[in-house]
Structure 1
Amino acid sequence: MRTPTRANLWTPLVVTLVCGLTLALGYLNKARCSGVPYDSQGRSLVFDRLKDSSVCYSDIQFLWLGRSINDHVFPYLSGGITGDGGLTGGTVEYPVLSGLLMWLGAIGAHTDAEFLLQSALILAPFALATAWMLGRMSGWAALLWSAGPPLVLYAFHNWELPVVAAATAGIFVVVAFDRVPLRTRGVIAAVLLAVGFCLKIYPGIFVLPLVAFVLTGGVGGRELPASVPGRYDVKGALAVAGAAVATTVAINLPFAILGWDGWLASFAFQSDRQADVTTNSVWFWGIRPLFDSVEGTDSDYARFVSLASPLLVLASFALALWFGWRRYRRDGTYAWVAVSGAMLCGFLLLHKVHSPQYTLWLIPFLVLLRVPWTLVAGYLLADLAMGIGVFRYFAALSAGEDASTEELAVQFGVWGRAVLLVVFYVLFLRADLRRRRDTEDDAPETPAVPVGTSPV
């Protein structure tokens, strides 16, 4: 990694400070739903009254009750899932590291407001670290992360910030530390991506393009070890894959041994989740009406989505990996960051659940990869319509009021995001990394470099 100049230290510092201010706004927005008076279980009485109509709902505050978090039960070890899909005994619907963070956030808390505050204090450093890494890699473009509406809306909506930090750190290690041998960088990145998998699953898919990047010798194939006789570093690729698998097993194995039913229940819960009005997906708004028009049953629709969604997600992954290989054959570099971004677009578009806070997963790729800012602005607009409209929609439905305006906002958000995810899928596969200037103020901008090249 190049020696940092004063200018290229200044940019990430400012980006990080801005991120801190945005996080404060994000917390204040969610905290509007909490506070005295409380019921006997520590639930703020204003929560149910304000959470949708005032758009201050958060899963953090909601899950204070119903997952034994308020009882400070250590997650998974004594839990399970009922026949109708209810979780019991401290099990939560997320992978184990997210469950641990939830448990840590509740230590010493007696109300949902205290749980929200303590969780925010735990989560905030991950957002700051993400801002700094993006600032180091992409310069002022990182303000999209630090000052954008998604961070206000979703920073403390759920437990997304640690997983975004883990995914960004995996990219940062490979991209920024270009003087470290590629095998070493690849193994460290694989460990970080596996940690992300144990937080919220999705970074695990980036291991596949990372393996291909190491296999092909990095940028232009110039990072193949001298001991490799041919064009492919098979040993290095296997080491990367093995590091990811070993990390995942090491983190999950204690929970699987000590509380198999509770550990397995978190995966069963997500597998059984239906693509209903709460999932904000193209499946509900686009496919469900087709079943209604032919008098299909709810079970027919559910079976179709349960089969079609994972198959199409996997097909989108395979297509992205294949296009990445084609680009490698043409340019000599397997564009693993670009392929990872495209795979994420395929997942967000085709998975049966598309929660609003998932936008935080995508933002780092919009920062790192060269795509038109007009399209980025369009995506943020659609996301804003969804992030606000969906809760206003729920509030109108709950109150028995006309929800046509709110439904229009939701539809705009759903289909606006869907169209742009398709566009980003294509553009990512052709994109280079954004390269920041070594001195932001007076140095001429250097040409774009192939994805995978160090920008610092």
Structure 2
Amino acid sequence: MPIGPTARDGTTATGGGLDRRRAAMVAVVVLLCGLTLALGYLNKARCAGEPFDEQGRSLVFDMHKDSDVCYSDIQLLWLGRNINEHTFPYVSGSITDDGALVGGAVEYPVLSGLLMWLGAIGAHTDADFLLHTALLLVPFALLTAWMLARLSGKAALLWAIGSPLVLYAFHNWELPVVCTAVAAVYVMAALPRLSLRTRGMLAAVLLGLGFCLKLYPGIFVLPLLAFVATGGDERDGDGRGTGTDVRGALLTAAAAIGTVVLVNLPFAVSGYEGWRASITFQQLREADITTNSVWYWGLRQLYGSDKRDEQAFQHAVSIASPALIIAAFALAMWLGWRRYTRSGVFPWIAVSAAMLCGFLLFHKVHSPQYTLWLVPFLVLLRVPWTLIGAYLVADVAIGVGVFRYFYSIGSGESMETMERVVQFGVWGRAVLLVAFFVLFLRAQLRGFRAPPQTLATPGRDDPVPVPVA
């Protein structure tokens, strides 16, 4: 599958003026991404700096993190996870009976915990930790911008200069995991000289690494397996498909599973309690006012306010959330398979995007920075820009409004307006995630030259791809 913008006649721009313009466009996207990252850091750094307390915490952090909307999990977790003491994660940690992490345990998968530890090397204050972590994360964002620009052309500006990168680039440790997910797509699309089986295995390794960072790329392995098993988009000389490759799909699955096992095994062996604590912590997390989910702002309103009602609500969420997520995954795979029977190509990127929408919609936690997970799919797949703009508006309502809402609660000010802003963000995102779920499964890829079998005939559901100059 060729990458990059295509000429008006459907051919790929492989040389001459178009090729030079594409190279310049990629450079501009990466440069602008760097400038956006600088703005993102400056935004968070407003909550860091002198004076510090005896543990290296910026005193301004607790005073202004919500009112000035400069809160970040990076700065918060300088304390409470032994990061300030430079404890190597997991190996000596555990979780208490009341759900508190102690002794170096952190709530994220092992590679994120390792990045947290690396960012703390040489840091003596939360300001140092924020800066060191930002420098550690920047290359992942720039590489993501480069890959997206190569794959989808100027649409990559959505990643490079969009509001999510300003709000969330240094909110948490999302940039590495997003990079692995995009890299898996890039490997499948941009290395055509390698066999489909080889590319599938490399992509599976990248998705496995992503799983070890923040879990969610692991859900993309299933559509990737279907793509490999059905012969991908490779064509032989007479235009027929290359046939099924079940063995290739099994090797791809083994590559993903093997990567996860190899990465986690040293931590599980050297400190099982600390390693297991990160999983237990997420299992114990509840759908509350901090999770920004439809469960709290929707289903919770049907229950009373006493302890028994709260327990009943959490029990209902613990059943309904995973059940609906699995149902969304199954529906995405089924609709993707229907598209495969019509087009001859299983749309693994589109199905992955739809599965992510189902996860974001129904998971009990929908943190603001998860928008960074979705943005690359909005770049890669042809969905209406008006809906993308609407989603960004709803996202800003959450990314800004939720912290102002917390400030109103803590300060005793009227919180009615900010509560409405938060609800607008929660329900706006929810409605648009449903829309994107449907649209992704019908969408073509931006900047990709579609193989002949994906071109719809009159009366078919799939649209004819529009070449990008």
Answer whether TM exceeds 0.5 for this pair: yes
Q: Which amino acid in 2 is paired with 1:118?
A: H
**1:110 aligned onto 2:118:** no
Paired-residue identity, %: 66
1:130 maps to which of 134, 144, 150:
144
How far apart, CA to CA, are the structure 2 residues paired with 1:388 and 1:145?
Answer: 19
Match of 1:265 in 2: 277
**1:219 aligned onto 2:258:** no
Instruction: Give the conservation status (yes or no) of the 8 Å contact 1:167–1:192.
Output: yes
Tell me how far 1:231 sits from its aligned partner. Answer: 3.5
How far apart, CA to CA, are the structure 1 residues paired with 2:293 and 2:247?
Answer: 40
Tell me how far 1:11 sits from its aligned partner. Answer: 1.4
Match of 1:48 in 2: 62
Instruction: Give the conservation status (yes or no) of the 8 Å contact 2:442–2:463.
Output: no
Match of 1:441 in 2: none
How far apart, CA to CA, are the structure 2 residues paired with 1:455 and 1:69?
Answer: 47
Match of 1:67 in 2: 81
Match of 1:444 in 2: none
Matches within 5 A, 1:3-402: 5-219=19-233, 231-292=243-304, 297-402=309-414
How far apart, CA to CA, are the structure 2 residues paired with 1:450 and 1:335?
Answer: 13
CA 1:293/1:326 → structure 2, altered by over 3 Å: closer, same or farther? farther
1:434 maps to which of 442, 446, 469:
446
Tell me how far 1:7 sits from its aligned partner. Answer: 2.0
Q: Which amino acid in 1 is paired with 2:80?
A: G
Match of 1:411 in 2: 423
Q: Is the partner of 2:357 in helix, strand or coil?
A: helix
How far apart, CA to CA, are the structure 2 residues paired with 1:455 and 1:246?
Answer: 39
* Cα displacement string for residues 402-430 of structure 1 (whole angstroms, at most 9, x for unaligned residues): 10010010000000000000000000000
Match of 2:10 in 1: none
How far apart, CA to CA, are the structure 2 residues paired with 1:124 and 1:277?
Answer: 31
Tell me how far 1:435 sits from its aligned partner. Answer: 1.2
How far apart, CA to CA, are the structure 2 residues paired with 1:146 and 1:61?
Answer: 24
Match of 1:442 in 2: none
How far apart, CA to CA, are the structure 2 residues paired with 1:252 and 1:271?
Answer: 18
Q: Which runs of 4+ in 1 moved over 3 A?
A: 1-4, 220-223, 293-296, 447-452
Tell me how far 1:49 sits from its aligned partner. Answer: 0.4
Q: Which amino acid in 2 is paired with 1:218?
A: G
User: TM-score by structure 2 length?
Assistant: 0.91
Q: Is the partner of 2:56 in helix, strand or coil?
A: coil
Cα RMSD of the aligned pairs, angstroms, is 2.3
Q: Is the partner of 2:442 in helix, strand or coil?
A: coil
* Cα displacement string for residues 55-107 of structure 1 (whole angstroms, at most 9, x for unaligned residues): 00000000000000000000000001000000011111000000000000000
How far apart, CA to CA, are the structure 2 residues paired with 1:326 and 1:127?
Answer: 35
Tell me how far 1:302 sits from its aligned partner. Answer: 0.7
Tell me how far 1:256 sits from its aligned partner. Answer: 0.4
How far apart, CA to CA, are the structure 2 residues paired with 1:130 and 1:301?
Answer: 39
User: TM-score by structure 1 length?
Assistant: 0.93
Tell me how far 1:286 sits from its aligned partner. Answer: 0.2
How far apart, CA to CA, are the structure 2 residues paired with 1:75 and 1:323?
Answer: 41
Q: Which amino acid in 2 is paired with 1:142?
A: A
User: How many residues are aligned here?
Assistant: 442
Tell me how far 1:295 sits from its aligned partner. Answer: 9.7
How far apart, CA to CA, are the structure 2 residues paired with 1:13 and 1:160?
Answer: 23
How far apart, CA to CA, are the structure 2 residues paired with 1:301 and 1:100?
Answer: 35
Tell me how far 1:291 sits from its aligned partner. Answer: 1.6
